[in-house]
Structure 1
Amino acid sequence: MLTPQDDLIGHQLPTTFDQIDNSDPAWMERLWYTGHPSPAGDLIFDIGLGYHPNRNVMDAFAGVAVPGRQWNFRASRHLRPDPLTTCVGPLEIQVVEGLRRHRLTLGSNASGIRFELEFIGTMNPHEEKAHLRRRDGRITENMARAQQLGRYEGWIEFDGRRVELDGAQWLGQRDHSWGVRAEMRTDESHPPLTFYPPFFYAWTTAQFKDRGLHVFFKERAPGEKIYLSGEEVFALGSKVTSRNQLVDVRHEVEWHDDPHGQSVKSAVFHLRYADGRERPITIRTLPTRYFLKGGLYGGLNGWFHGDDRGKSYVEADQWDLSDPATRQLVRTLGDQVIEVRDGDEIGWGIMEYGVGKDYALYKAVQKHPPI
C-alpha cells in the first residue's frame, strides 16, 4: 500500500515502502533510546519501538528506573492500515532531522510515566559490524545496527514527580537496527527457552567532553571473540577514519556479591585500536539499571516482541527491585549506568552484560541467568 514515505527517494525494491525483501517473521526494525543524568547516574529511562512488517505488528515500551524501583509501560497495535507511522497508543517517536534531532512523547497512561523529550545527536554514529548467524544451515540473524551518542532536553514525569532535563547534564544513546533478528526467549513461564552455549558479552558506551566510545564484544571463551565491534567517535560531522576502529578488547571484571543476579561492580577493558594505540579504560557502575524485561526483551508473562495483542493494547506495571521474586523474573539483561575513566578524562554511559554457564571466567555469578 502507498504511504507518505513513497513520495521520498530511497526505494530499493520495485514495491512500496511498507514491503521488505523476504517473508521471514523474524524480520524487524527497532528504535531504542536511553538517557541518564551525569554525574549522578541515579535515574535512567529507556524507550523503544519495534516494527514487525511480516507479523502486522508494531510494539513499543517506555520505562524509568531509580535505585530499587522500576516503572514500565508497554503497548502494541496492528500495523495496517497505518504501517509506517511510529506511534503506538500514547507513545510516539518522530525523526525531526536524521542523525541530529528525534522527538519522543508519551501521553497519559496507566503507568504514570509521561514525557516530552528531544534527543540531540552530538557525535558521529557508530555503524556496527554486520550481524550474521546460521544454525544448521539456516540464517537465524542477518541484521544491521548503528548507535549514536547525544544529549536530551525536555521533561519526564513518573511516580508523581516531574524532572526537567538539562542538555548539559542529561546524556544518552540511541540505536536503530533492522533485518532478521535472532530469537531471544528467556521467559521461564512460557518455554521453550533459547539455548545459550558458554559466553561472556558486554555492550558499552561512554561520552567524554569531546568524544565518545562504543565497545561491543562476545566471547565463547576468554580471548576467543565471536563478535567485536567498536569505535572512538568524535563530533557530528567531523572526519571519520578507520584508525579509530577497535580491533581487540581484553577484560577484568569485578562483581557485586548480589544474591539475586549478575551485577558488575567495576571493570577494566584493555582496548586496542586499528592505528596500534593500546589503552585501558576503567568502568565503575552507578546505582541505577533499567531491566529490559520491562520492554519485553526475552519475553514477559508470555508476551514476546512481535506478538499480536490485537488492534490496540496497553499495559503497565511497577517493580520493587529489592524483592527476590521480582529479581528472579527480570534476570540480568539491563542498561546499567556507568562512569568511565580513560586516562585523565571521565565520561558516562551505559553497559549491558552477561556471563553464560561454563564460561571459563567469572564462575561465581554463573548461578544466575545471564540474559
Structure 2
Amino acid sequence: MLTWGDEYPIHQTPEPVWVAGSDRNFYDRYFFNGYSKDGAVFFAAAFGVYPHLNIMDGAFSVLKDGVQRSVHLSRVMHHERMDVRVGPMKIDVLRPLYSVKITLDDAEGISGELTFEGRHFPVEEPRFTRRSGSRMVMDVTRMTQNGRWSGWISVDGERIEVASDNFYGTRDRSWGVRPIGSQDPQPVLPQQLPQFYWIWTPLNFENLALYFHVNDDEKGKSWNTRAVLAMEGVDADGLLHLDNPEFSAEYDQGTRRIRKGLLKVTDGQGREHKVTYEPMSTFQMKGLGYTHPDWSHGLYKGEYAIEREDFKPGVMPWKEPSNLHIQAISKVTHEGPDGQSSTGIGSLEQLFIGPHEPSGWKDMFDA
C-alpha cells in the first residue's frame, strides 16, 4: 500500500512508510503547551498517529479563570499518516525543527490559529526503555523545544490574542512504543504493583530556556534524566548540557501534588545553578487524553468523533487515577553561579504512581 509518505526520502525499512515495525503499540505524537507570562492563560494540544491501530487523534485545551475547556477528536486514518488532520484540527510543519502551526476551525466552540517558533535547537532526550517482565512497555525517543507563540484563540466567542512578546511555551515530538488504545486483557505475570515517578519541567526565562526531566524508580534512583540550558537562538552545538541534577520537592499536605520544588545542577565548569518552582495553577493532562477514561490515546471512537469537555481542575480530587497526571503552571527563579538571578515561567509536569522511597510513599496512592 502506497501513501503520501512514500513520495519523500524518509524510508527506514524496505517496506512502504505505512508500515511501522511490528509492535501494535507504535505511536508518533506532537505535544504543545503555551502560556502568558503572568500565567493567566494556559493552553495545550496533543496530536497522535497510531499506524497499526489505524487511528489518528487530537485534543486542544485552554485553562483560564480556573476553568479548563477541552475538545477531543478522533478518526480512522486509512493508513495515510501524513494527512495530519482530524476534523477541524490540523498540524502544519512550517520549518522543520523550528516552527509548527496548529489550526482549529470551530471545534465545538473552540477555534484558533497558533504558530510556534523555537528559541533554540530541540533537545534530544535520552531514549526511554522500560520493561514489565519480558514485555516492552516503553521504547521512546523524544525531542523538546522551548519557544514563543503568536496567533489567536477563541473559546465560546471570547477571543484571546496570543503575541510572541507575551506568550512562551514548549513543544515536543515523541515516537516509539508505549501503551495505547485498549488495554491488554492478559497482563504480564506475576503481576506487580505499578510504579512511575515522572517530572518534566521545560522553563522559559527572558534570555534563556532551561529543561529538566527525571524518571525515578521506587528507591528514588533515576533511570532516565537530562538537564539542558539553552541561550536564545543557539544551535545544537550551543546547548549546554548540565550535570548532577538533583530535584527535591515539598508536597501539599495529604497529597502527591508538589507545592514547592528545587532543582540543583552543575555546568561544565562545575558551577552550581539552582531553580526554584512555585506552582500557581493546575492543568489536567486528561484534557488532552492522557489517562482519560473515555478519550485515552489511540482508542477507537468510530470513523470520526468529536466531544467537548469542561471542568475546574482546582476542585478535582487529586487521588482519582485519571487526575494524577498534571502540569502545574509555575513561577520559577534561576540562580546562576555569578550570584545573579532571573524569574521566568514554565510547566512542572507530574505523574506519580506507586512507591517512591524519598517521598515516603509505599503504596499506589498513599501520601
TM-score for the superposition, normalised by structure 1: 0.87
Deviations 1:122-148 (A, max 9, x none): 212100001112222232221110011
Q: Please name the residue that 1:291 is paired with.
A: 284
> How much does 1:268 deviate?
1.0
Secondary structure of the 1:294 match is helix
CA shift in 2, pair 1:233/1:196, >3 Å: farther
User: Distance in 2 between the 1:214 and 1:326 partners?
Assistant: 26
- Aligned to 1:108, the other structure's residue is in SS state strand
What is residue 18 of structure 1 aligned with on the other side? 18
Residue of structure 1 equivalent to 2:310? 318
Percent identity reads 25
Aligned to 1:106: 104
Letter of the 2:16 counterpart? T
Q: Secondary structure at the match of 2:106?
A: coil
Distance 2:262 2:285 in 1: 24
Q: 1:183 to 1:5 in 2, by over 3 A?
A: closer
- DSSP 3-state at the match of 2:107: coil
Deviations 1:264-292 (A, max 9, x none): 222111113455332221111123x2211
CA offset digits 1:80-131 (Å, max 9, x no partner): 1643211011110100111222110111132x22111111112121000011
- Measured after TM superposition, the shift of residue 199 of structure 1 is 5.1
2:266 touches 2:272 (CA, 8 Å); kept in 1?
Answer: yes
Partner of 2:338: none
Cross-structure match for 2:324: 332
Q: Distance in 2 between matches of 1:232 and 1:185?
A: 38
Select the residue among 118, 124, 129 that pairs with 1:127.
124
SS at match of 1:293: helix
* 1:49-71 deviations in Å (ceiling 9; x for gaps): 11000000001111111253111
Structure 1 stretches of 5 or more lacking a match? none
Seen in structure 2, the aligned counterparts of structure 1 residues 58 and 97 have a Cα distance that, compared at 3 Å, is same
Query: Given the alignment, which residue of 247, 259, 267 partners 1:265?
Result: 259
1:1-371 residue pairs with structure 2 within 5 A?
Answer: 1-20=1-20, 22-38=21-37, 40-80=38-78, 82-110=80-108, 112-182=109-179, 197-198=194-195, 200-221=197-218, 224-238=221-235, 240=237, 244-257=240-253, 262-287=256-281, 289-301=282-294, 303-324=295-316, 328=320, 330-343=322-335, 344-363=341-360, 368=365
When residues 57 and 195 of structure 1 are mapped into structure 2, their CA distance, relative to the original with a 3 A threshold, is: farther
- State the distance in 1 between where 2:93 and 2:219 align: 40
Query: Relative to structure 1, is the Cα distance of residues 127 and 198 closer, same or farther in structure 2, using a 3 angstrom cutoff?
Result: same
Runs of 5+ unmatched residues, structure 2 = 336-340
Q: How many residues align?
A: 359
Equivalent position amino acid for 2:246 in 1 = R
Give the counterpart letter for 1:300 in structure 2. P
Q: Deviations over 1:21-70 (max 9, x none)?
A: x22111000001010000x1122111111100000000111111125311
What letter corresponds to residue 47 of structure 1 in structure 2? Answer: A
Contact conserved, 2:355 with 2:364, CA < 8 A, in 1? no
Q: Give the direction of change, closer, same or farther, for the CA distance of 1:273–1:129 in structure 2 (3 Å limit).
A: farther
Q: Which amino acid aligns with 1:233?
A: A
Per-residue deviation, 1:362: 3.4
The one-letter code sitting in structure 1 at the alignment partner of 2:103 is T
Q: Which TM-score applies when normalising by structure 2?
A: 0.88
Question: In structure 2, the residue corresponding to 1:204 is in which secondary structure?
Answer: strand
SS in structure 2 of the partner of residue 6 of structure 1: helix
Report deviation, 1:248. Answer: 2.3
The 8 Å contact of residues 93 and 99 in structure 2, kept in 1 or not, is answered as yes
- 8 Å CA contact 1:42–1:286 kept in 2: the answer is no
Note the alpha carbon deviations across 1:322-357, whole angstroms, 9 max, x for none: 544698364221122112211211121111124444
Please state whether the residue corresponding to 2:217 is helix, strand or coil.
strand
Matches of 1:225 and 1:185 in 2, distance apart?
A: 29
Pairwise CA RMSD: 2.9
Q: 1:166 to 1:93 in 2, by over 3 A?
A: same
